[in-house]
Structure 1
Amino acid sequence: MEGRDDTVAVKRAVEADTIETGGSAINEATLRKIALAMERRGIIIFTDPDHAGERIRKIVANRVPGCKHAFLREADATKGDDIGVENASPEAIREALSRVRSEVVGASEEAQDQIDWEDLIGAGLIVHPEAAARRRFMAERLGIGYCNGKQFYKRLAIFRISREEFAAALAELEKENERGE
């Protein structure tokens, strides 16, 4: 969690212990506390769906391998111009936590079932006029959080998204696009 308001929102939704980072200027003492919590019981990284939240997620994940990740949809975390966990309803928080993804330490980009760059191009998730919107839809369906194309590709690998999961989400996207036309 980034701050006290995030902790309050999470505790309204579930019974959980939290570690507050104090924002994106996460310090060494907090990182040590997170590493100890990971060692003893495991952690779920649950940050705001914005640039600062992603920065914190990357810092923690790089420093403490093997974390679990929960992603809140931006629409569920927005109130006016403010984006943050503190704005999410208890139901949205529970939904995000129900879709936790485990990071696979040392996930190989050469894994047999790995989705490759060509798959992303073919699906219109990169190098496509609607790539950002398509990635947003896919990220929400897969529960991996919205990100740019390169990060999306990495998340598919570290969360071991199968070709079947990918194809099912892509089919939903295409069905949604057909309805919209």
Structure 2
Amino acid sequence: MIVVEGKEDTVAIRRAVDADTIETGGSAIGEEVLRRIVLAQERRGVIVFTDPDSPGERIRKIVAERVPECKHAFLLKDEARGKDGIGVEHASNEAIVRALERVRAPGPHASSDASETPAPEIEWSDLLDAGLIVHASASKRRERMGELLGIGYANGKQFYKRCVNFRITRKEFLDALEQLEKEGI
């Protein structure tokens, strides 16, 4: 089941792929909708596919807190831009399919036994060294890195959390950083 914000997003998803959706009705996501998402996760699995903007990120965070094992699909801002704003409903079929092909699952959650939780491959210092934080172009660099890694745009702290939660490998990170450097960003 794909969690989207509204009816127009459902139309766009169904235009691109054969899938069922749960609409949150916007960022004021209610308890009834959250219970449906929990049930969907238990029975079928859930992919959160919200708009690449602040309200979409708020919904993503609320759903992930309630259903930490849900998966995430990220749409690039440029692919979601329409004359009325930014949203899944403006994306092409190809962009939606691409985002769904790059779905990310969260990593294992911390357990009481630290030996069972693998150490993250990306450290905060890696973001600093890569100019993704405390850098004149940090925001632009994070936006492109998020595109390359398939984890979307986020501020520095959220970007780091996504690298850890989605188990971004050192190789993936370095390959994306190399591409970023080639592009001169």
**If the length of structure 2 is used for normalisation, what is the TM-score?**
0.92
- Among 40, 45, 62, the alignment partner of 1:42 is 45
Deviation at 1:112, TM superposition (A): 3.5
Q: Within 5 A, what are the aligned runs for 1:72-91?
A: 72-91=75-94
How far apart in 2 are the matches of 1:81 and 1:105?
Answer: 38
Look up the equivalent residue of 1:10 and give its one-letter code.
I
Gaps of 5+ in 2: none
Look up the equivalent residue of 2:132 and give its one-letter code.
L
Deviation at 1:111, TM superposition (A): 3.7
3-state DSSP of counterpart to 1:102:
coil
Question: Alignment RMSD, CA only?
Answer: 1.6
Deviation at 1:158, TM superposition (A): 0.4
How far apart in 1 are the matches of 2:141 and 2:135?
Answer: 9
Gaps of 5+ in 1: none
Deviation at 1:173, TM superposition (A): 0.5
In the alignment, which residue of structure 2 is the partner of 1:171? 178
Deviation at 1:80, TM superposition (A): 2.4
Question: May I ask how many residue pairs the two structures share in their alignment?
Answer: 178
How far apart in 1 are the matches of 2:147 and 2:161?
Answer: 16
Q: 1:57 to 1:69 in 2, by over 3 A?
A: same
Q: Are 2:27 and 1:20 aligned?
A: no
Percent of aligned pairs sharing the same letter: 63
- Among 8, 12, 17, the alignment partner of 2:11 is 8
- Among 128, 150, 169, the alignment partner of 2:135 is 128
Q: Is the 8 A contact 1:65 1:105 kept in 2?
A: no
- Among 143, 146, 152, the alignment partner of 2:150 is 143
Q: Are 2:64 and 1:61 aligned?
A: yes
Q: Is the 8 A contact 2:52 2:152 kept in 1?
A: yes
After alignment, is 104-113 or 41-50 more displaced?
104-113
- Among 93, 96, 100, the alignment partner of 1:93 is 96
Deviation at 1:105, TM superposition (A): 3.8
Look up the equivalent residue of 2:30 and give its one-letter code.
N
Q: 1:81 to 1:4 in 2, by over 3 A?
A: closer
**If the length of structure 1 is used for normalisation, what is the TM-score?**
0.94
After alignment, is 97-106 or 70-79 more displaced?
97-106
In the alignment, which residue of structure 1 is the partner of 2:126? 119
